[in-house]
Amino acid sequence: MKIGRQDDPKSAISTSNEETILVRGRDLTSELIGKISFTDHFWLLLTGAYPSAVQRRVLDATLVAIAEHGLVPSVQVARMTLAAAPEALQGAVAAGILGCGSVILGAAEAAGRFLAAILERARGGELEAGASTVIEEHRAARRAIAGYGHPLHKSSDPRVKALLQVAREAGCAGRHIEVAQLVERLVPRLIGKPLAMNVSGAIAAVLLDAGFPLLALKGVPLLARTASLIAHLLEEQQRPIGFTLTNAGAAAIEYDGPVPPGFTPSND
Amino acid sequence: MKIGRQDDPKSAISTSNEETILVRGRDLTSELIGKISFTDHFWLLLTGAYPSAVQRRVLDATLVAIAEHGLVPSVQVARMTLAAAPEALQGAVAAGILGCGSVILGAAEAAGRFLAAILERARGGELEAGASTVIEEHRAARRAIAGYGHPLHKSSDPRVKALLQVAREAGCAGRHIEVAQLVERLVPRLIGKPLAMNVSGAIAAVLLDAGFPLLALKGVPLLARTASLIAHLLEEQQRPIGFTLTNAGAAAIEYDGPVPPGFTPSND
Amino acid sequence: MKIGRQDDPKSAISTSNEETILVRGRDLTSELIGKISFTDHFWLLLTGAYPSAVQRRVLDATLVAIAEHGLVPSVQVARMTLAAAPEALQGAVAAGILGCGSVILGAAEAAGRFLAAILERARGGELEAGASTVIEEHRAARRAIAGYGHPLHKSSDPRVKALLQVAREAGCAGRHIEVAQLVERLVPRLIGKPLAMNVSGAIAAVLLDAGFPLLALKGVPLLARTASLIAHLLEEQQRPIGFTLTNAGAAAIEYDGPVPPGFTPSND
Amino acid sequence: MKIGRQDDPKSAISTSNEETILVRGRDLTSELIGKISFTDHFWLLLTGAYPSAVQRRVLDATLVAIAEHGLVPSVQVARMTLAAAPEALQGAVAAGILGCGSVILGAAEAAGRFLAAILERARGGELEAGASTVIEEHRAARRAIAGYGHPLHKSSDPRVKALLQVAREAGCAGRHIEVAQLVERLVPRLIGKPLAMNVSGAIAAVLLDAGFPLLALKGVPLLARTASLIAHLLEEQQRPIGFTLTNAGAAAIEYDGPVPPGFTPSND
């Protein structure tokens, strides 16, 4: 059964024979292992080229920024899953990263598309007019403005300032950061309330200015959070809290369905 | 409902308030973002301390070594899943890393436990006697020797030599590498055929010699492969092969169940 | 950190004490186990009420229709994942159902929303005008018409006829089926080529006519395929093909990246 | 690259052409859709034959028994994951079933292997001696006795009695149930404390007595819980509690890592 396009059955990422493994055309053992950092390797895998010093610095900064933020859904999910199924660490990591979604953690790509749409709209014209149009279209379609607003860091997300400063120091701050800050200024008037740029918006802006591929933006929170999940799962093996999280969650929810006469729910 | 141990409901990885996010006691925005690499951050998340230059170099080398090896199961799984469900990149990554198992990709932790068991057994005595005993116990229990043997790189896995050289150059080659090489020498006599140390065995040996936590060893292939999966999923969005993989797989399998009279299967 | 709406922390599905487990208000042990079928239980879990005989028959028919269709992506993914990680059957099932997406297998919900949108548009007016408008809007927005077209069953999907006949025999064929068939007639003129209703379109139409909740439609392919994946994973344990699928897939793809002078890829 | 056994590239589950889909040799559209229940189809997929009335009744009873038990880890995981990533229902279901592990929910297969091991050991001899030996071997190896003990239903799991009664009424109670009850009687003396048979032990015993394949036992909790997860995810779309669960979990855990002078964590 032939499904979908199948006219170009090719891949340019890796090939090998018994003696040699090539990754993006480089000999893995003589050119890469021990010679480049993991961050360099991630950039090489994605693009086929080594990052510049600027690109490496910006990518490291975004990966560090989004890796860890306490007992968020992805972390609790991973720890509960390991408690239930300790035989499969990979299952606990997979469960955790399934929470890298459009609402939490995974908004970098949507934020990047939003910034790119404004630049596309403004092409050859006025940036502010382009931004206003795109924001108003989102508002009309009741779509969230990806990359803005945070439940805890309401007035300003501290990671945003740090990321923008890295981009400025590295000398790669460009049009995407300009648009991202413009949107922050326009939002109060166009949406009716302030929405501070959040870490996903800043990740998208600085990485796009550094030349990172738009279609891989979601890979940054995915890779970063994987590192954090592994740390939480190491701690879970040594100081388990997975079932404590479950119990606390269950205790916070009231059953409001029907009960037969005389039934009393357990206190546990 | 109380399940399992719940006497120590604590975590030491992160906390925050509206202005500050602490990761392992460091201020994320002023001490970490833009200051340390992602590899440093991974080590910090796991252990609570920055890696030494030696530890950073060895960890980078292992992450680079295991990230990518062509169209292996985890990669094909991720690309097919994205072809079927392009709305959820996180789902394709999760499906891929679920193949980081005991047979493929995920053997580093089992290899580390094997090396540690030999050192434990040999404590205060002869290393070779300890190794022989543990290997023979595995053989008696029909358990595989984790970290040895590879379907393509039969006589020697080129990544092993590169990783051991990095450890030697970095000055951290120690007892785990010694045991790992001893096992390679003992195997032909004890098992009856040669089995070369594979990349999982080498990853376990060099990381344990560098002080990496045993219970997090599986995190290295998990994190490394996540980087590679994201690269393959970027390529899948630009040059899709997911359904080509499916068709080729299906064509390789013959249906040998019952058929009604006159039925002819499709050629597709 | 408070994320999202949290004003109604309640659930009406289940509660328990040490002696009794209530599911949707029924005593699990005295009213459900041994008394009702799994299909009845699924309907009860979803809606809080037992299905009528008509509803049970239609739900069974759709679950049977979508469970199995050979070595499709979800099945290959599950079998490869079990080959790599035999220690975690749950991981192989999870990997498989992650392929229940918008392109393959998981289109029932989108199809249901499409049919519901036409009925909403046509409210009090002409069905054909409503359908034409919604189809043309999809076409203008370059959105696929969910529930129509199939790569193998081009002129007609045999499962569609069977499902519609079950609905007619059961006496529940109604407005959603009427719309689904109307769309099939309108498509050649509006889209410019015929697109036969596929199994996802038929599942949506017959279940919505039977009173099944729209927001749970994707649960039908998910539950049905889970049954099929378990059967394939039982076979995989007895007659493994997971790595054969991988090899055939890899052999179908050509590496077209750079190679150093003298490099020859492996034939395997 | 050839990994593993590849000498029998065959599957007997399904084949098709443009007009016909065969499942286990039956014509899906003329013999199965609308003719058999989903439970029958599951048995057919697994074994290639229709279940007897006894087998259908026992399988339905076990699927109903294990589907739902309130806000257990798998359910909380699925609901949190949907809250974070509402674009992918399949991701939330997959995350949930990854918690079908050796500790929670997924013990039916291990329980079945335990019962089978006792019957194998006792072959031609005394059942009680065989059971004692296997229990003592587990105790010596510090392995849990799968299928016994429950955190809430300590003195007796109400689902066990119901399942055993179904098996007796259906007339298929046999050697596996006999062994399972024998173990319950032997445990207090051999282990030093009573451990009541739990639902996983009862599922294994009644299904094995009914002729269900041992290697597919874990498929029963997996399929059953999938039905329950879909119901919880329907409720989550209508009355979200995912983030409430997260907040309650986070509030139950104290951060005990280092903090800089003057830092006060958020109350949220």
Label each residue of chain B as H, E or C: CCCCCCCCCEECCEEECCCCEEECCEEHHHHHCCCCCHHHHHHHHHHCCCCCHHHHHHHHHHHHHHHCCCCCHHHHHHHHHHHHCCCCHHHHHHHHHCCCECCCECCHHHHHHHHHHHHHHCCCCCHHHHHHHHHHHHHHCCCCCCCECCCCCCCCCHHHHHHHHHHHHHCCCCHHHHHHHHHHHHHHHHHCCCCCECHHHHHHHHHHHCCCCHHHCCHHHHHHHHHHHHHHHHHHHHCCCHHHHHHHHHHCCEECCCCCCCCCCCCC
pLDDT score at A266: 80
Cα separation of A166 and A172, whole Å? Answer: 9
pLDDT score at B76: 98
Residue B152 has pLDDT above 80, yes or no: no
pLDDT score at D150: 79
Q: What would the mean pLDDT of D44-61 be, rounded to a whole number?
A: 98
Q: Which residues of A touch C12 (CB under 8 A)?
A: 255-257
Residue A153 has pLDDT above 80, yes or no: no
Chain B contact present for C77, CB below 8 A: yes
B contact test, residue of C222, C246, C264 with most B CBs within 10 A: C246
pLDDT score at B4: 67
pLDDT score at A167: 98
Chain A contact present for D243, CB below 8 A: yes
Among partner residues B9, B70, B91, which is closest to D91 by beta-carbon distance?
B91
pLDDT score at A83: 97
pLDDT score at D186: 96
Between the ranges A18-22, A166-170, C263-267, where is the mean pLDDT highest?
Answer: A166-170
Cα separation of B14 and A158, whole Å? Answer: 15
pLDDT score at A3: 67
Cα separation of D255 and D249, whole Å? Answer: 13
Among partner residues B15, B17, B255, which is closest to D15 by beta-carbon distance?
B255
CA distance B126 to chain C (A): 34
Residue B5 has pLDDT above 80, yes or no: no
Between the ranges A14-18, A155-159, B62-66, B155-159, where is the mean pLDDT highest?
Answer: B62-66
Q: What would the mean pLDDT of B249-257 be, rounded to a whole number?
A: 97
pLDDT in tens, B130-150: 999 999 999 998 888 999 987
Residue A1 has pLDDT above 60, yes or no: no
| pLDDT band with cut points at 50, 70 and 90 for residue B96 | very high
pLDDT score at C18: 85
Residue labelled with tokens 């009393």 = A264
How crowded is residue C228: how many other Cβ atoms within 10 Å of its Cβ?
26
Residue D97 has pLDDT above 80, yes or no: yes
- Work out the percent of chain A whose per-residue pLDDT is above 90: 87
Q: What would the mean pLDDT of D37-46 be, rounded to a whole number?
A: 98
Q: Which chains touch A (3 or more CB pairs under 8 A)?
A: B, C, D
User: Across chain C, what does the average pLDDT equal?
Assistant: 94
pLDDT score at C151: 73
Residue A219 has pLDDT above 60, yes or no: yes
- Work out the percent of chain D whose per-residue pLDDT is above 70: 97
Among partner residues A38, A232, A243, which is closest to B64 by beta-carbon distance?
A38
pLDDT score at A112: 97
Residue D6 has pLDDT above 90, yes or no: no
- Work out the percent of chain C whose per-residue pLDDT is above 70: 97
Those residues with Cβ within 8 angstroms of residue A107's Cβ, 6 or more apart along the chain or in another chain: A146, A147, A198, A200, A201
pLDDT score at D18: 85
Mean pLDDT lowest among A241-245, C91-95, D17-21, D44-48: D17-21
Mean pLDDT lowest among C86-90, C183-187, D156-160, D228-232: D156-160
Strand blocks (E) in chain A: 10-11, 14-16, 21-23, 26-27, 254-255
pLDDT score at D196: 94
Query: A230: closest CA among B6, B44, D123, B211?
Result: B44
Q: How far is CA B3 from CA A74, D149, D152, D224, in A?
A: 21, 11, 8, 21
pLDDT score at B2: 64
| pLDDT band with cut points at 50, 70 and 90 for residue A125 | confident
Residue C156 has pLDDT above 90, yes or no: no
| pLDDT band with cut points at 50, 70 and 90 for residue A6 | confident
Chain D contact present for B30, CB below 8 A: no
Mean pLDDT lowest among C31-40, C231-240, D124-133: D124-133
pLDDT in tens, A165-209: 999 999 999 999 999 999 999 999 999 999 999 999 999 999 999
Among partner residues B45, B67, B268, which is closest to A45 by beta-carbon distance?
B67
Strand bridging mode B14-16 / A10-11 = unpaired
pLDDT score at B47: 98
pLDDT score at C224: 98
Structure-token pair, residue A114 = 């939003």
More confident residue, A129 or A156: A129
Looking at chain D from residue 4 to 23, which residues have their Cβ under 8 Å from any Cβ of chain C? Answer: 4-6, 8-16, 18-21, 23
Chain D contact present for B252, CB below 8 A: yes
Cα separation of C27 and C242, whole Å? Answer: 43
Please, how many CA atoms are within 13 Å of residue B203, restricted to the half-sphere of its CB? 34
